[in-house]
Amino acid sequence: MTPSLSASPPSSAGPGARAWRTLMLACGAVAGAMFVAITVLVCADVFFRNLGFGSIQWGLEVTEYLLMTATFLGAPYLLYLGEHIRVDIIVQSVSSAARRVLDIVSDVFGFAVCALLFWESMNVLLDTQAQGGMVFKVLIFPEWWLTVPMTFSVALLALEFLRRLRIALTPRGG
């Protein structure tokens, strides 16, 4: 995979860059821990069922919520590392100047989409919180909790696209 010009994590040792790096690494670590928890939970459920103890009642539901949350938390981390999904066949076939333009266009587009998603998910979060809806399954909790991972993640993604844009638009070698 050809790294994009704005894909590399910040080399600046400033406090803002360090705080951002720590937040991104925390997102990746928590997402990874959630995937481990999913694996353990599914294996434990299968193990208990095979021993005749029955299924872990809340296991499937918690696995679904963990999968959603881990995916949303992992996205900003992967974008920060430049390991997000890209169409490399196009990027590899153009000059470095064209690649820079493609990076800038994709970062602008990514920011716009994430900013719109943040706006909409925040509206849904506030609406569901105001309505006081509850999720009634095995677990019972406020419905708005389900929108927090997306809202948080797309906010981080939007900020990461802005960081990447700043890097891409900064003159090199000055």
Closest to 65 (Cα-Cα) out of 164, 140, 154: 140
Band (33; pLDDT cuts 50, 70, 90): very high
Please state, in angstroms and rounded to a whole number, the distance separating the CA atoms of residues 124 and 144: 8
Q: What is the pLDDT of residues 102-114, one digit of tens each?
A: 889 999 999 999 9
Average pLDDT of the residues of the chain: 90
Q: What does the block give as tokens for 95?
A: 């000059």
Residue 3 predicted with pLDDT over 70: no
Domain boundaries, the chain: 15-169
Please give the helix or strand (H or E) that residue 141 lies within, else none.
Answer: strand 140-142
Please state, in angstroms and rounded to a whole number, the distance separating the CA atoms of residues 156 and 29: 15
How many other C-beta atoms lie within 10 A of the C-beta of residue 63? Answer: 18
Query: In the prediction, which pLDDT does 117 show?
Result: 98
Sign (positive/negative) of CA torsion 169, 162, 102, 116? negative
Would the pTM count as exceeding 0.75? yes
8-16 CB contacts, 8 Å cutoff, 24+ apart: 8/82, 8/167, 9/80, 9/81, 9/82, 10/163, 10/167
Mean pLDDT confidence for 16-21:
94
Q: Which residues contact 134 (CB under 8 A, 6 or more apart)?
A: 140, 141, 142, 143
Q: What is the pLDDT of residues 83-136, one digit of tens each?
A: 877 777 777 888 888 888 988 999 999 999 999 999 999 999 999 999 999 999
